[in-house]
Amino acid sequence: MTKSKKKFTKFLVLSVGGLGLISTTLLLSDPPSPSELDPSLFNLNYQKHAAGRTLASAYSVSSPDAMFEINCSDTDQKLETTSMRFRLRGQACTNESAALSTQIQNKSNGYIATVFHRDPQSFTTDYINLNEGTNEIAIKFATQNGLVEKTITITRNPSSVKKPN
């Protein structure tokens, strides 16, 4: 291998590794809350850009309440939303030892969530789809001392905004 090919290979490996590190960091971090967003970043002038435009749709797919925090002390945690999906985050409900793994499943539709651990006791999920009505969310924390289970009930109410015909 020539010297220039070695340099190019080294550059390519470092670039791909750096991009992988950045991507992993972005995946494991929570999205910013609306209060943390700086509107000046988007450089939007609604009055100027809205002239002559119409709405693309009359309803929204997601709502701002699509992120829920697990409450380990609440044995019968019940939540409500109009959103079609949600994310769950919080601390593992294991008092005595660290969670080795976490499994979260919507028993109503069988969806098994991807769980991202920031550390052994803190986690967040990808978006979990909800059926309309009652959804039973089963959460299992595996520890060295056994399995810790928790159930959350999330009720998805129909949106009050009607869909266009």
Residue 107 CA to residue 35 CA, distance in Å, equals 33
Find all residues with CB under 8 Å of 31, minimum gap 6, and list them. none
Strand (E) positions, 25-121?
67-69, 78-81, 85-91, 101-106, 115-119
**Given strand 101-106, what is the order of strands in its sheet?**
78-81, 146-156, 133-143, 101-106
Backbone angles phi, psi at 81, to 5 degrees: -155, 165
- Supply the pLDDT for residue 56: 47
Q: What is the mean pLDDT of each run of 10 residues along the chain (165 residues)?
A: 87 91 82 61 48 46 70 91 92 83 93 88 91 94 89 87 52
103-116 tens-digit pLDDT: 999 999 999 999 99
- Supply the pLDDT for residue 34: 62
pTM of the predicted protein model: 0.58
- Supply the pLDDT for residue 36: 63
Residue 75 CA to residue 94 CA, distance in Å, equals 14
Show the tokens assigned to 160.
Answer: 């009050």
- Supply the pLDDT for residue 65: 55
- Supply the pLDDT for residue 137: 95
Q: Are 78 and 155 in contact (CB under 8 A)?
A: yes
* Domains annotated on the chain, with CATH: 63-156 (2.60.40.10)
- Supply the pLDDT for residue 49: 47
**Burial readout 16-53 (b: 16 or more C-beta within 10 A, e: otherwise):** eeeeeeeeeeeeeeeeeeeeeeeeeeeeeeeeeeeeee
